[in-house]
Structure 1
């Protein structure tokens, strides 16, 4: 059984100020048993924007809700047109040094697990094993009627066939893979149905207004219980889906460490918040641990 990191921490309920001191992160990883919880901020260096950071997409973009998607044919047309275009950008995204560092820490036995709020698959692309995709994955599509699951690339091919010449220029692409298009650009985009039962197809992701499956939540809670500390990477922790694990760890007396340039909703539960870009910060920690990142390259 691993010992808890010997970090000086007495929970006060007060948010620590942002710092550039990586010593607590190094200390936790040196001990091992660290559970990583990653958010959109770890993928910004791969060209995928976040929601709430500087220039975040929520300043100009309202994500699709589950209620709108299931209730409206026009909402589904708009979503799939925008997501079909956005998927091309996600397909070109490659892991960055932050993802490579997490994979390297895992290979060296320093992590007890990885939970990601991201739907981009970049942790897995660089070799991290056993990643729990809290909000699902854009790489899969599920039928809401019969439950059939298919690869996104298969659906992309069907959408290409159904919409030849669909090549609008998006103003931006958002963290959920939804490209910014006007109604005129969406036009009469043709949505395809489930090839098995004719039902409605939905990306296998948790939309706003939708709940994370209970079994997945419990799996994450178990990972928190088994960890020696929780390392949050690039998440504002604004939504409860991630914040609840920070609260769980803090309530159990497990050190919570956050690396995020902006303040987060979980800061008052944390030992420290390192306000540095993730790629350089985690590379510096890996260097100090003597762990090369090139061994984790895809």
Structure 2
């Protein structure tokens, strides 16, 4: 610190650096100026040189710029291709502001071409201890105007609910896709009933985990607007989300297969028949081969199309037509799952991490 001037942000290449200095006034406002240690842009690799060639003539202009607001300070910064240069230092009080400005500049001027350039180093300076993808997701959440979350079985595994599609997710060595069918319901009801009775009773021992609670809190804060889920456990609603659209129905809503009249969960567990027509009772889930609930699908599709950010959590993206929803948006897309298939649709950001841990990290930044 010299005469009260502090380094706000410093960046450069091997041959030199550019520094934005700041001095806090008695009023609490900051004054900014730049200091330049000349750089040789030939130090940069060919692709970065191509990206910076349009701005080189501005690098040595206006050396004595003084700014009395952060916005004006950014105009000084933006004379340089700083998002793709090597970061050296960021003032602790300006970390979030620098990161926000970095994201804006990268998106407006450079696009995805810069995803591989020094983003991890900028993230480390702006948010010590956080992975770059965590910081990026938090930034996108803060900047999005409409966010929809699509969840699958992996969302609930941390509540100790088996994910039947994971490598270990088999029930008594039987593929659930041969049990959760109308054929099994009508022709092997004993097996069908046992399978769903085990699932219903198992859910009684489970509760929503911290990740569910974070999504509920985000909805209350207006960070996310809707959740479409392939899960039938009801945990999003139990955690406090109001705008939940169950694409595959609910295991807790029992009805008759013949007349569709509702029945109680206990009547199903007792293996009773429908009191209205004597038909077989079943959970209100979508069995393999059945159509998705029209209203849930239609509303989910509307939310996805309105979104500028869609976050897909814990789904294998194997089941049609829900697996097509992430591609129905023009906004950014994020895929969070412990098992990432190389053949999965293209996403703007892919994060391989446990859901609860990741959401806790992101929640600390939004």
1:142 corresponds to which of 243, 246, 255: 255
1:94-113 matches, within 5 Å, as 94-113=207-226
Q: Does 1:25 align with 2:141?
A: no
2:279 corresponds to which of 172, 196, 199: 199
1:180-219 matches, within 5 Å, as 191-219=271-299
Contact 1:38 1:116 in 2 (8 A): yes
Contact 2:263 2:281 in 1 (8 A): no
Deviations 1:261-286 (A, max 9, x none): 11147743210110111101000111
CA RMSD, Structure 1 to Structure 2 (Å) = 2.4
Q: Which residue of 2 aligns with 1:155?
A: 268
Which structure would you say has the larger RCO, counting Cα contacts within 8 Å and 6 or more residues apart? 1
Distance (Å, rounded) in 2 between the aligned partners of 1:20 and 1:196: 58
1:120-269 matches, within 5 Å, as 120-156=233-269, 159=270, 191-249=271-329, 253-264=330-341, 267-269=344-346
C-alpha displacement of 1:153: 4.0
The alpha-carbon distance between structure 1 residues 31 and 37, as it changes in their structure 2 partners (threshold 3 A), is same
**Which deviates the most, 26-35 or 275-284?**
26-35
Contact 1:95 1:125 in 2 (8 A): yes
The SS at the match of 2:225 is strand
Q: Does 1:276 align with 2:365?
A: no
TM-score with structure 1 setting the length: 0.74
Contact 2:334 2:347 in 1 (8 A): yes
Structure 1 unaligned residues grouped into runs of 5+: 12-18, 160-190, 290-298
Distance (Å, rounded) in 2 between the aligned partners of 1:269 and 1:150: 43
Contact 1:35 1:231 in 2 (8 A): yes
Contact 1:112 1:226 in 2 (8 A): no
Deviations 1:121-157 (A, max 9, x none): 111111111210110111111112222123424533x
Deviations 1:15-55 (A, max 9, x none): xxxx8721232122112421000111111111001133342
C-alpha displacement of 1:105: 0.8
2:362 corresponds to which of 265, 285, 295: 285
Which has more strand, going by share of residues? 2
How many residues matched? 240
The alpha-carbon distance between structure 1 residues 40 and 145, as it changes in their structure 2 partners (threshold 3 A), is same
Contact 1:120 1:138 in 2 (8 A): yes
Q: Does 1:117 align with 2:230?
A: yes
C-alpha displacement of 1:254: 1.3
TM-score with structure 2 setting the length: 0.61
The SS at the match of 1:132 is strand
C-alpha displacement of 1:59: 10
Structure 2 unaligned residues grouped into runs of 5+: 1-102, 114-130
1:67 corresponds to which of 182, 190, 203: 182
Distance (Å, rounded) in 2 between the aligned partners of 1:234 and 1:266: 16
The SS at the match of 1:256 is strand
The alpha-carbon distance between structure 1 residues 255 and 38, as it changes in their structure 2 partners (threshold 3 A), is same
Distance (Å, rounded) in 1 between the aligned partners of 2:243 and 2:219: 10
Distance (Å, rounded) in 1 between the aligned partners of 2:345 and 2:172: 25
Q: Which residue of 2 aligns with 1:184?
A: none
The SS at the match of 1:56 is coil
